[in-house]
Structure 1
Amino acid sequence: MVSFWAVKHHWGLLFLFPHPGSFVVRYLIGFALLDFCEYLYHVIMHKIKPLWSFHLVHHSDLELDVSTTVREHPVETFLRMCFLIIWVFLLGASFGVLLLRQTIQTIANITSHTQFKLPHKANNIISWIFITPNLHHVHHHYQLPFTDRNYGYVLSIWDRLFNTYYNDLPATEVTFGIDTHMDKNANTNFWRIIKLPFLKKLK
């Protein structure tokens, strides 16, 4: 609804630029800006302590797999949607751009939360443009400063621009989870996970 309203009223950052005639270019610009907003959202969830308490539910998974993609506290799901509405409103993103963005992000999220790893050389090449599973595995390493690296969802340019890119942690040294919550029994109990943001420490 927000997207349709913004497009109808020519509202948002995307309408301030003289759009190139190419349909593809317009979609690429919109996609890139939405991707930057998601990078910003991810940084905010890590850096603001009350928000991090909900986001750490995602990071507390000790075995990274496809299910980790949807391991998200309901409060964060609500916050994510609120932020997305704000981004769409500020940018004036069309439904088509939003659909493209969400489809590619979903595929990227599923892929990056698998145990699949690219060969070293392939990863070094592809990671110049995209967030690879290798890069996201670093982000899920259980200790700082690695959890504050590789915030990107699809494009790696934002991490490179804002000095949060890291690609030098060998896969054999990655331990999934978060160092303050490494109790396997607690991390696999649904109700304990739901209550996690409201507890000082898992016992």
Structure 2
Amino acid sequence: METLVNYFETIPSSHRSLILVGGLTFFWLLESGLPLFKFKYNKWQHALPNLFFTMTTIVINFALAFLLLGTADWVKANDFGIINWLPTMPLWLYVLLGVLFLDFFGAYLAHFVEHKVKPLWMVHLVHHTDHKVDTTTANRHHPIESLIRFSFTLLGVFVVGTPIAIVMLYQAMSLIFTQFTHANLKMSKRLDRVLSYVLVSPDMHKIHHHYRLPYTDSNYGNIFSIWDRIFGTYMYMGREKLVYGVDVFPDEKKNTNIGELLKQPFQKYEKPTLSSDIDE
């Protein structure tokens, strides 16, 4: 564990880029061979807007990285934050708790708030208006959302008290998990369900991408599924019933246009409808 911590404490930018590109390539190939849905689409054409937003996310996170580093250094120097106020524990538990709580602030809480505050929901809609969810959908976030998510992660680093090694480990895990859970990948239902008791599984997250409420407002987690189970936001739905997109912006052609997607947060929409086919 100490070796892992030392590695992520000084992880080179080239290695972080390799995790991004390597993960994307791996799940791209895997979902091509074992697809959950046999989409009739040009995979490269579909990926273009998603990769554009991936690049804007990278630029924003890179530009603001000094804030993460500064905050992580400060909490370490001042022994500040939740995991630093707990009794002395083994290193593996310290790291696990750090990643677990960062996942709450940087992923679950950020995601939940985006769905409950209308201006933020309008920004987050860009992620939901993908009608062919695959691994490239993972980082399909409007630049404003990238700023919002970064702010919640920064808050998490401060409140949790995570040193930079745990921050970098969390970000690497978060990236791989979001590529995995968005991948158009067919796993056995039993394995997926068992996995979902602790970690976010592909089927679990894809329920969140169903086009109608209340499924859209469920399963907010990214790495750990326990937050959804603790706060009562977990829902189940048979994968056969999934319909991607969002009912308030149903135009698939517009939802693949980068210009339209950049304008989407500032457009009006009609009140969404509740689905009646709820699975218990």
Band the TM-score falls in, shorter-chain normalisation: over 0.9
Question: Are the aligned partners of 2:254 and 2:260 in contact in 1 as well (CA < 8 Å)?
Answer: yes
Amino acid in the other structure paired with 2:128: H
Aligned to 2:227: 158
Aligned to 2:122: 53
- 1:102 and 2:176 equivalent? no
Task: Tell me the distance in 1 between the aligned counterparts of 2:174 and 2:186.
Answer: 18
Alignment root-mean-square deviation, CA: 1.2
Question: Are the aligned partners of 2:101 and 2:156 in contact in 1 as well (CA < 8 Å)?
Answer: no
Task: Tell me the distance in 2 between the aligned counterparts of 1:130 and 1:117.
Answer: 17
Aligned to 1:117: 186
- 1:74 and 2:148 equivalent? no
Question: Are the aligned partners of 2:219 and 2:233 in contact in 1 as well (CA < 8 Å)?
Answer: yes
Question: Could you report, residue by residue, the CA deviation over 1:77-126 in whole angstroms, capped at 9, with x for unpaired residues?
Answer: 01111111111111111111111111111110001111103211111211
Aligned to 1:187: 255
Question: Are the aligned partners of 2:72 and 2:163 in contact in 1 as well (CA < 8 Å)?
Answer: yes
Q: Where in structure 1 are there 5+ consecutive unaligned residues?
A: none
Aligned to 1:178: 246
Q: TM-score, normalised by structure 2?
A: 0.69
Amino acid in the other structure paired with 2:256: T
- Decide which of 85, 96, 99 is 1:16's aligned counterpart: 85
Q: Where in structure 2 are there 5+ consecutive unaligned residues?
A: 1-69, 271-280
| Displacement after TM superposition at 1:17 (Å) | 0.9
Task: Tell me the distance in 1 between the aligned counterparts of 2:189 and 2:97.
Answer: 30
- The sequence identity of aligned pairs, in percent, is 35
Segments of 4+ moved more than 4 angstroms: none
Amino acid in the other structure paired with 2:245: G
Task: Tell me the distance in 2 between the aligned counterparts of 1:80 and 1:156.
Answer: 19
- 1:91 and 2:147 equivalent? no
> Aligned residue pairs: how many?
200
Question: Could you report, residue by residue, the CA deviation over 1:34-60 in whole angstroms, capped at 9, with x for unpaired residues?
Answer: 112121111001111110000011001
- 1:33 and 2:101 equivalent? yes
Q: TM-score, normalised by structure 1?
A: 0.95
- Decide which of 178, 188, 202 is 1:133's aligned counterpart: 202
Question: Are the aligned partners of 2:114 and 2:120 in contact in 1 as well (CA < 8 Å)?
Answer: yes
| Displacement after TM superposition at 1:163 (Å) | 1.0
Question: Are the aligned partners of 2:211 and 2:243 in contact in 1 as well (CA < 8 Å)?
Answer: yes
| Displacement after TM superposition at 1:19 (Å) | 2.6
Task: Tell me the distance in 2 between the aligned counterparts of 1:19 and 1:149.
Answer: 36
Aligned to 1:4: 73
